[in-house]
Amino acid sequence: MKILSNESLKNYTTVKIGGYAEKLYFPESIEELSDLINQLSEEDYYIISGGSNILINDKKTYKNVVSLIKMDNSVMELGDGKFYVGASVKLQKLINIINKKGFGGIEYLFSVPALVGGSVAMNAGRGKVHGLSISDYIEEVRVLDKGVIKVLSKEECNFKYRDSIFKKNNNKLIVLGVTFTFDKGYPEELKKIRQERINISQSNQDASGYNFGSVFRKHNRVIMQVIRITHPGYKTGMSFSKKSSNWLINQGEGTYSQAISLITRVEKLHKVIGQKIIREVIIWK
Ligand SMILES: Cc1cc2nc3c(=O)[nH]c(=O)nc-3n(C[C@H](O)[C@H](O)[C@H](O)COP(=O)(O)OP(=O)(O)OC[C@H]3O[C@@H](n4cnc5c(N)ncnc54)[C@H](O)[C@@H]3O)c2cc1C
């Protein structure tokens, strides 16, 4: 297993912010991951996959960080639209494979720079009004629970909007692989849907800087606009996007404390006005 020492975590996140890992591990199999987790003490490690919904404190050094990008990149076809997919598989790769075989359903995730494991933990999906999430197609999830491999039914995973049991376990329940059953479709039509998704994300999503997608999973749009106008953020650092209202953009010199100050401002204003706000991005304090 590759292990890097004193490695900056910045380049393992899409927002390009992060402190250091004393040890950054890249297990290359479930066995390696399991052995590693057994060695590390309970409180002592963090899990990262695509790093596309994480804000990491850039003033901190984390003792042990486990990257799952190399753990299991396999996609196994089981028949009738059923696939077993390793947690390290990129969403784009998965969608391309199933579409070519005449199955689909999650093409709206084609623009999401995430791995299957992270997407299942976050229950990635389309905006709330669309009511679509990756869990729609999940049958069961293979997990590592304190070093023991188990299979959880979809119900046991407690999927809700951008939420699952995996977010509540402080990284102690790790997604190893997922069994999906996808819808039947025609490869040519699925290709068109993928292209539509690319077009939507190119016209609606802010690609002017580094980001981690949505900051909040529940918020008030008007309040966000007020904040954006009254506190535009940091010119060469972090600011709320004009194009994607719930996104923070890093123009290159963004820091953890800039991001936190903007997030806190939004949360405080919601509380003062009595509006509900729920954060989506995972923060490593
Ligand atoms: C450009 C862009 C577009 C985006 N669009 C969308 C969108 O359309 N819909 C959407 O829902 N999200 C979107 N996101 C946010 C993000 O991609 C999703 O939340 C995604 O599910 C995160 O997956 P990841 O692999 O990057 O996980 P990470 O960011 O690496 O991790 C997220 C959390 O999951 C935990 N985790 C990671 N892997 C595992 C595992 N195997 N087992 C248990 N826990 C694990 C981590 O510890 C962390 O707490 C977008 C982000 C970007 C940058």
Pocket test for ligand 1, best of 52, 168, 217 (most atoms within 8 A of CB): 52
pLDDT for position 42: 67
Residue type, 167: K
pLDDT, average across residues 32-47? 89
3-class DSSP assignment, residue 280 = coil
Pocket test for ligand 1, best of 26, 47, 53, 132 (most atoms within 8 A of CB): 53
Q: Residue 146's pLDDT band (boundaries 50, 70, 90)?
A: confident
Per CATH, 2-67 and 206-284 having the same topology is answered no
Q: 267: which 2 tokens?
A: 């949360």
pLDDT, average across residues 126-154? 94
129/131 Cα distance (integer angstroms): 6
196/283 Cα distance (integer angstroms): 32
How many C-beta neighbours within 10 Å does residue 40 have?
Answer: 16
225/51 Cα distance (integer angstroms): 27
Q: Domain boundaries in the chain?
A: 2-67, 75-203, 206-284
pLDDT tens, position by position, 266-278: 999 999 999 999 9
Computed from CA positions of residues 164, 148, 116, 28, in that sequence, does the dihedral angle turn out positive or negative? positive
pLDDT for position 35: 94
193/21 Cα distance (integer angstroms): 39
pLDDT for position 53: 97
48/67 Cα distance (integer angstroms): 5
3-class DSSP assignment, residue 201 = helix
| Position in ligand 1 atom list of the atom nearest CA 133 | 11
Pick the CATH number of 206-284 from 3.40.225.10, 3.30.70.1400, 3.40.50.300, 3.90.78.10: 3.90.78.10
Q: Which residues line ligand 1 (CB under 6 A)?
A: 14, 47-54, 68, 87, 112-115, 117-119, 121-122, 124-125, 166, 171, 174-175, 211-213, 282
Q: Whose CA is nearest to atom 37 of ligand 1?
A: 118
Closest by Cα among 192, 156, 190 to 173 = 156
pLDDT for position 171: 65
Domain 2-67: assigned CATH number: 3.30.43.10
- 75-203: CATH topology is 3.30.465
Percentage of residues in the chain having pLDDT higher than 70: 98
pLDDT tens, position by position, 204-254: 999 999 999 999 999 999 999 899 899 889 999 999 999 998 999 999 999
Closest by Cα among 85, 68, 90 to 137 = 85
